[in-house]
Amino acid sequence: MKVAYYPGCSLHGLAKEYGISVEVVCKHLGINLKEIEDWNCCGATAAHSLNHELTISLSARNLAIARDMKMDKVLAPCAGCFSRLKGASYELRNNKTLAAEVAEIIQSAAPVEPEVKNLLQLIMEEPGLLDKIQSRVVKPLRGLKLAAYYGCLLTRPKEIVQFDDPELPVSMDMILKALGADTVTWAHKAECCGGGYAASDTDIVLDLSGQVLESAHRAGADAIVVACPMCGVNLDTRQEAAAALKGKKYDMPIIYLTQLMGIALGYSPGQLGMKRHLISPFPLLQSKGLA
Amino acid sequence: MSNREKKVLIIGGGLAGMEAAIKLGGAGYQTVLIEKEDHLGGIMNQLYGSFPRWDNPQKIVEEKVKMVEENPHIQVKLNTTIKSVQKKDKSFVVELSDQEKIEFDAVILATGFGFYDAAEYGEYGYGSFDNVYTALEFEGKLKEMESWDKKDLPQVVAFFKCVGSRDRSKGYPYCSKICCMFTAKEAGLMKDLNPDTKCFVFYMDYRAAGKEYEEFARSVIEDKHVRYVRGRPAKVLPDNGKLMIRAEDTLMGVPVEVAADMIVLANAMVPSESTKELARMFEAKTDKYGFIDYIPGHPTQSGDRVFFAGGCGFPVESLGAQYQGAAAAAEVIALFNQD
Amino acid sequence: MLNTADFYHVWRIDQSSEQLKEEIKEHCHTDIERCLECGKCSGGCSNAHIFDITPRKIIQLIKIGEEAKLLKMDALWSCVACQLCVDRCPSSINIPRIMDYLREKAYKQHIPATRPNVQLFHELMLGHINRFGRVPEALLSVEFNIRSKQYTKDAQMGMKMFFKGKLNPIPARVKDIKKVRRMFRNLPMQREG
């Protein structure tokens, strides 16, 4: 499988630990990631907010490079980037006028392939990969009760993404169960954390992330598992303030899916960037003999 | 009267099929009524109440079954399905599941409707969350709740209409026609069981076009005190044993929430698989959804010597199913008289 | 932001314009006449509880061509683009795309954003993409705090994040930045004025 890798700005910045763990785990599983050469920012959420042609063009340039690299798929581990790249590719396929305009803007034929995948899709759609992961588990995540959090953009909009049930998604739960963990049934697994508003209108994120945290807490989860740097950063770095608004304190670790995959596959928390979280997952992992 | 030698097959022993059989048998024709279940009555057997007169469904079925059984010209075959059909010039040779081969001069399809799978609505959690029921399941639940202690009865029950109906993105664009009325009925029956249970009906419109229907729906609102909330629910969030419903009250234009103990989904009525298969076997005309369709000028005829009645044509209430059964019988008799 | 006087008066709907509706059909590829007025969009909207105009009302306002009201609404600047509305809409009306379209239109016409900081953040981010091709998050946050005069906002958290190695103080760059800048230059409709 030749997979073009689009890390996006967050995996180089705010969510470095996600980027690190994605690379470690993919390498371990024989998924050969090739970073898109000289990729540019997808523009989320500024570009789509202010200029439609720009948001499509920014993604189109990245996809055109991946196409020229002759890759089968593009992996975008950030749900925001995924949504923009996937949405652009959908529009370019279905809107010939726009495709012509964009070709003019990026000075290259508008790309219609390769297919853009998020991390959950990449794992679930590759035949046999989930079984392979399960068979390679050396440190089962026994005793962990996890809230698998999908947020909004890993499965939405359904017409474009065409993956899992956007309202009651199960794919991440299946992966976590394959690693030996338990997952809780909870209400907010596919509701929004506030996305890109963390800096510009923090109250929105405190409100929405607060609802997600409260829901996971009430469902009895030990930690929330995420597959998006925006969800990860919002729920981790804004947790204290969001909880304080409700007069609470959760101390709920927010862990990237690939970090937990890494642990189960035998890597140490340090190798997976686990020291970088504001709410440390170490006490939880230690209590279960996983660190 | 050599015509009385004519033989007619009726497939489906619900109200529509029984009515057709009663009329054809009453006219003296040899009538074979087959039913795949081990009893007659169809979906009516599963109902706890009826609209618009609150009649007892069991009683309606019992009366009809008695009329069928007392008619010497009707042969009822339970637990029976169709294996194959061979079309001849003016008849069908039909092989039944008991290997018997019988030649019929006409057939009436009365196989009823099927139901849209409510689990397609992940946002409502049917099949995943406890206490989310389809409307048909809730009829059984009402029966079960008769014997419950009052303290165990739900405090809040919410009814969602248009689950799969009037939804181009997941289900069907059409209106299933009878959900507005049976939802009013179920909410009213819940109130009869326990007037202290709060009942909320989430609706986009309520459609009460039928004799005594508007009065029926108003009485549920005014006399039984069921609350109607205009707005289609967006999401159900389970929370500590309760089901938190998020919706908009579109009359006020504000978001509202209801913490319910039970949710009842009026899932769309759709063509059943057996209807689709029988339509193929008998070369009956179907519409784009797979319901049996009529030939212009012949409101209950769907092909050469093929007639239909009841929910296999489109969702219909019990009285309508009986009208259609009688009408199909009349068309068959008219055809036989021309033969 | 709309106030109640904007809403509670007699509306001459016979004099309404179809133009916005047609524009949206053309540019957003979505037909608002499919709207069943069921309110499912607004019932599940992540931020309906803070919107001045909920999605269902936005569709109604488009129907009667109330562009002026739509372009100054607060919902444009508090929509999180979570896609819940379009996914649940029984007619698949692409409300997130409509929101983007209306916001872009408001922005191009210099209609003041009800949440200037949200607009400022977007502008700064686009500025960074134009300059570097990528977004140096740490730098963007500092710049945003200075420009929005919130000098101490998130300072403590920022320090914590810095020491956790979450912030990369050295901005990443696209090597072939000319290509990125050319995209910005080649864009058809630039902001007026």
Is the domain of A154 the same as that of A269?
yes
pLDDT at residue number A259: 98
Alpha-carbon span A3 to A33, nearest angstrom = 5
Q: Is residue A255 part of a domain?
A: yes
Do the bridges between strand B269-271 and strand B198-203 make them parallel or antiparallel, or are there none, so unpaired?
unpaired
Could you report the per-residue pLDDT of C68-122, keeping only the tens digit for each? 999 999 999 999 999 999 999 999 999 999 999 999 999 999 999 999 999 999 9
Q: By the CB < 8 Å criterion, does C29 face chain A?
A: yes
* Contact between A40 and C133 using a beta-carbon 8 Å cutoff: yes
Alpha-carbon span B280 to A78, nearest angstrom = 49
Is the domain of A166 the same as that of A278?
yes
The confidence band for C155, taking pLDDT boundaries of 50, 70 and 90, is confident
pLDDT for residue B270 is more than 50: yes
The C-alpha of C11 sits at a distance from chain A's nearest C-alpha, in angstroms, of 30
Optimal mutation site among B121, B124, B162, B169, interface C, most CBs of chain C within 10 A: B169
B243 to chain A: which residues are within 8 Å by CB?
none
Neighboring chains of B (3 or more beta-carbon pairs < 8 A): A, C
In this structure, what CATH number is given to the domain that contains residue A41?
Answer: 1.20.1050.140
Instruction: Tell me the sheet residues that pair with B237.
Output: B244
pLDDT for residue B275 is more than 60: yes
Q: Domains of chain B by range and CATH?
A: 2-112+272-338 (3.50.50.60), 116-268 (3.50.50.60)
Alpha-carbon span B6 to B24, nearest angstrom = 10
pLDDT for residue C164 is more than 90: no
pLDDT for residue C193 is more than 70: no
Is the domain of A277 the same as that of A181?
yes
A204 to chain C: which residues are within 8 Å by CB?
47, 50, 78, 80
The model's pTM:
0.95
Alpha-carbon span A200 to A234, nearest angstrom = 13
* Contact between B244 and A187 using a beta-carbon 8 Å cutoff: yes
Do the bridges between strand B156-163 and strand B132-134 make them parallel or antiparallel, or are there none, so unpaired?
unpaired
Is the domain of A114 the same as that of A177?
no
Nearest to C135 among A41, A157, A159 (CB): A41
Alpha-carbon span A135 to A30, nearest angstrom = 14
Fold of C4-108: Fumarate Reductase Iron-sulfur Protein; Chain B, domain 2 (1.10.1060)
Strand, helix or coil for residue B153: coil
Q: By the CB < 8 Å criterion, does B319 face chain A?
A: no
pLDDT at residue number C158: 83
**B204: nearest CA partner in chain C:** C38
Could you report the per-residue pLDDT of A223-233, keeping only the tens digit for each? 999 999 999 99
pLDDT at residue number A139: 98
Closest CA to A251 of A242, A263, A262: A242
pLDDT for residue C135 is more than 60: yes
User: Average pLDDT of B303-332?
Assistant: 98
In eight-state DSSP terms, residue B292 is B
Alpha-carbon span A224 to A202, nearest angstrom = 21
Is the domain of A107 the same as that of A185?
no
Provide the number of structural domains found in chain A: 2
Is the domain of A171 the same as that of A107?
no
pLDDT at residue number B159: 98
* Contact between A165 and B239 using a beta-carbon 8 Å cutoff: no
pLDDT at residue number C157: 86
The C-alpha of C68 sits at a distance from chain A's nearest C-alpha, in angstroms, of 18
In this structure, what CATH number is given to the domain that contains residue A193?
Answer: 3.40.50.11810
pLDDT for residue B306 is more than 60: yes
* Contact between A167 and B235 using a beta-carbon 8 Å cutoff: yes
The confidence band for C162, taking pLDDT boundaries of 50, 70 and 90, is confident
C-alpha distances in Å from residue B164, one per residue of A216, B104, B179, C90:
30, 38, 11, 9
User: Average pLDDT of B250-268?
Assistant: 97
* Contact between A168 and B244 using a beta-carbon 8 Å cutoff: no
Residues of chain A numbered 183-242 and touching chain B (CB < 8 Å): 185-188, 191, 215, 218
| Angle CA C43–C102–A153, to nearest 5 | 55
* Phi, psi for B266 (deg, rounded to 5): -85, 85
Optimal mutation site among B121, B130, B239, B257, interface A, most CBs of chain A within 10 A: B239
The confidence band for C138, taking pLDDT boundaries of 50, 70 and 90, is confident
Q: Is residue A22 part of a domain?
A: yes
Residues of chain A numbered 214-273 and touching chain C (CB < 8 Å): 233, 237
B266's enclosing H/E stretch is strand B262-267
Could you report the per-residue pLDDT of B9-60, keeping only the tens digit for each? 999 999 999 999 999 999 999 999 999 999 999 999 999 999 999 999 999 9
* Contact between B121 and A166 using a beta-carbon 8 Å cutoff: no
Is the domain of A77 the same as that of A112?
yes
Nearest to A278 among C77, C160, C176 (CB): C160
Could you report the per-residue pLDDT of B192-224, keeping only the tens digit for each? 999 999 999 999 999 999 999 999 999 999 999
Nearest to A9 among C84, C104, C134 (CB): C134
pLDDT at residue number A114: 93
Is the domain of A163 the same as that of A242?
yes
User: Please, are residues B133 and B238 in contact by the beta-carbon 8 Å criterion?
Assistant: no
Could you report the per-residue pLDDT of B155-195, keeping only the tens digit for each? 999 999 999 999 999 989 999 999 999 999 999 999 999 99
- CB count, 10 Å around CB of A162? 11
User: Please, are residues B11 and B34 in contact by the beta-carbon 8 Å criterion?
Assistant: yes
The C-alpha of C122 sits at a distance from chain A's nearest C-alpha, in angstroms, of 4
Q: Is residue A130 part of a domain?
A: no
Residues of chain A numbered 103-122 and touching chain C (CB < 8 Å): 104-107
Instruction: Collect all residues with Cβ–Cβ distance below 8 Å to A185 and sequence separation of at least 6.
Output: A219, B128, B238
Domain with CATH 1.10.1060 in chain C: 4-108
pLDDT at residue number C187: 83
Q: How many CB pairs under 8 A join A and C?
A: 178
Alpha-carbon span B226 to B220, nearest angstrom = 6
pLDDT at residue number A243: 97
Is the domain of A173 the same as that of A221?
yes
Cis peptide before B52 (omega within 30 of 0): yes
Q: Is residue A23 part of a domain?
A: yes
Q: Is residue A129 part of a domain?
A: no
* Contact between A167 and B121 using a beta-carbon 8 Å cutoff: yes
Is the domain of A48 the same as that of A144?
no
User: Please, are residues B302 and B109 in contact by the beta-carbon 8 Å criterion?
Assistant: yes
Q: How many CB pairs under 8 A join B and C?
A: 76
3-state secondary structure string across B167-214: CCCCCCCCCCCCHHHHHHHHHHHHHHHCCCCEEEEEECCCCCCCCCHH
Could you report the per-residue pLDDT of B51-103, keeping only the tens digit for each? 999 999 999 999 999 999 999 999 999 999 999 999 999 999 999 999 999 99
The C-alpha of A27 sits at a distance from chain B's nearest C-alpha, in angstroms, of 35
pLDDT at residue number C7: 82
Q: Is residue A250 part of a domain?
A: yes
Domain of A188, in residue numbers: 139-287
The confidence band for B3, taking pLDDT boundaries of 50, 70 and 90, is low
| Structure tokens, C59 | 């569709």
pLDDT for residue C33 is more than 90: yes
Could you report the per-residue pLDDT of A161-194, keeping only the tens digit for each? 999 999 999 999 999 999 999 999 999 999 999 9
Average pLDDT, chain B: 97
Optimal mutation site among A155, A163, A168, interface B, most CBs of chain B within 10 A: A168
pLDDT for residue C1 is more than 90: no
pLDDT at residue number C6: 80
Give me Rg for the CA atoms of chain A: 19
Which residue stretches of chain A have pLDDT < 50? none
Instruction: Tell me the sheet residues that pair with B243.
Output: B238, B260
The confidence band for B1, taking pLDDT boundaries of 50, 70 and 90, is very low
ipTM score for this prediction = 0.96
Is the domain of A283 the same as that of A147?
yes
